[in-house]
Amino acid sequence: MPAFAPLTPLADAAADLAHGRTSATQLTETALARAGAGEGPSTFTRVLTESARAQARASDLLRAAGVVRSPIEGLPISVKDLFDIAGHATRAGSRLLENAVPAAHDARIVQRLRAAGAVIVGTTNMTEFAFSGVGINPHYGTPRGPWGREDGGGRIPGGSSSGAAVSVADGMALAAIGTDTGGSVRIPSALCGLTGYKPTARRVSTQGALPLSTTLDSVGPLAPTVRCCALLGSILAGEPYSEPLAAHAAHLRLLAPTNVVLAGMDATVGAGWERALARLSRAGAQVTRAPLAPLDELAAIHARGSFSAAEAWAWHRRYLPEHQGAYDPRVAERILAGQRMGAADYVDLLAARQRWIAAMRAQLADFDAFVMPTVPIVAPEIAPLVASDAAFFAANALLLRNTSLVNFLDGCAVSLPIHAAGEAPVGLSLACPGGHDQRLIALALAVENVLRRAAP
The number of angstroms, rounded, from the C-alpha of 454 to the middle of its chain's C-alpha atoms is: 25
Closest CA to 340 of 302, 300, 285: 302
Are 31 and 55 in contact by the 8 Å Cβ rule? The answer is no
Judge whether 184 counts as a catalytic residue: yes
Q: Phi and psi (nearest 5°) for 78?
A: -105, 155
Judge whether 80 counts as a catalytic residue: yes
Are 124 and 80 in contact by the 8 Å Cβ rule? The answer is yes
Task: Find the catalytic residue in 78, 132, 184, 218.
Answer: 184
Q: Phi and psi (nearest 5°) for 369?
A: -165, 170
Task: Find the catalytic residue in 42, 160, 161, 308.
Answer: 160
Residue 46 falls in which region: left (phi positive, over 0), alpha (psi -120 to 50) or beta: beta
Q: Phi and psi (nearest 5°) for 274?
A: -65, -40
Closest CA to 404 of 93, 156, 186: 186
Provide the 3-class DSSP secondary structure of residue 18. helix
Q: What angle do CA 22, 163, 264 make, to 5 degrees?
A: 125
Q: What is the spatial distance between Cα 256 and Cα 107, in angstroms, rounded to a whole number?
A: 37
- Residues contacting residue 86 through CB under 8 Å, at least 6 positions apart: 102, 103, 104, 105, 106
Task: Find the catalytic residue in 51, 80, 132, 429.
Answer: 80
- Residues contacting residue 318 through CB under 8 Å, at least 6 positions apart: none
Judge whether 161 counts as a catalytic residue: no
Residue 184 burial (CB count, 10 A):
37
**Residue 376 exposure: Cα atoms within 13 Å on the Cβ side:** 17
User: Rg for the chain (alpha carbons), in Å?
Assistant: 21
Instruction: Write the DSSP symbol of residue 70.
Output: S
What are the E-state strand segments in 143-242? 175-180, 195-198, 218-223
Report, as residue numbers or ranges, the catalytic residues. Answer: 80, 160, 184
